[in-house]
């Protein structure tokens, strides 16, 4: 076996996953509303954000309005989420819950609530090489 010779190569197409619930099937509106109620019970402000670039290093998504600090009912968040979905149907949309009890905004929960009809897939290739070494490569496929 020569140096760097490939023994095994595996390619996997992966779905974009970020935040809570990322490996579960998408939540429906009833489940989303239940999560928002949980956030509000904990006195967390909820914000709606959207992007066309869901790369994990893209932490600054566009805000849809301002975070909702004074809500006591999930209906307000769901109305804003619906408006964002109508304005950006082919974008990734997430809800973010902020906790301000320590005097600054700390993200306590975030999860994707909308995906494009056809979303890019991440193609990851793992290559086993000499010994126990592995190398990884990835690219986005549309």
Average pLDDT rounded to a whole number, residues 17-38: 91
Average pLDDT rounded to a whole number, residues 107-117: 92
Each residue's pLDDT tens digit, 50-81: 999 887 778 889 999 988 988 889 999 999 99
CATH 3.30.190.10 in the chain is located at 20-117
Least confident interval from 10-14, 15-19, 118-122, 135-139: 10-14
Cα–Cα distance measured from residue 121 to residue 139, given in angstroms and rounded to the nearest whole number:
8
CATH for 20-117 is 3.30.190.10
Each residue's pLDDT tens digit, 31-57: 999 999 999 999 999 999 999 988 777
Other C-beta atoms closer than 10 Å to the C-beta of 105 total 15
Cα–Cα distance measured from residue 95 to residue 114, given in angstroms and rounded to the nearest whole number:
10
The more confident residue out of 132 and 73 is 73
Across the beta sheet with 121-128, what order do the strands follow? 8-14, 121-128, 134-141
Per-residue pLDDT at 108 exceeds 90? yes
Other C-beta atoms closer than 10 Å to the C-beta of 31 total 14
Q: Strand locations in the chain, DSSP E?
A: 8-14, 45-51, 62-68, 92-99, 106-114, 121-128, 134-141
pTM for the full model?
0.75
Scan for tokens 């809500």, then name that residue: 71
């Amino acid at each position: 076996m020569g140096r760097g010779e490939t023994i095994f190569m595996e390619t996997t197409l992966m779905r974009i996953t970020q935040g809570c619930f990322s490996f579960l099937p998408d939540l429906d509106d009833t489940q989303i509303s239940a999560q928002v109620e949980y956030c509000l019970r904990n006195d967390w402000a909820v914000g709606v954000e959207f992007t066309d670039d869901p790369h994990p290093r893209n932490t600054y998504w566009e805000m849809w309005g301002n975070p909702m600090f004074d809500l006591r009912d999930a209906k307000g968040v769901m109305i804003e989420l619906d408006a964002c979905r109508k304005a950006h149907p082919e974008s990734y949309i997430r809800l973010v819950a902020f906790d301000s009890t320590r005097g600054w905004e700390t993200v306590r929960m975030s999860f994707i609530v909308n995906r494009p009809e056809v979303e890019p897939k991440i193609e990851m290739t793992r290559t086993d090489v000499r010994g126990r070494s592995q190398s990884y490569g990835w690219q986005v496929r549309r």
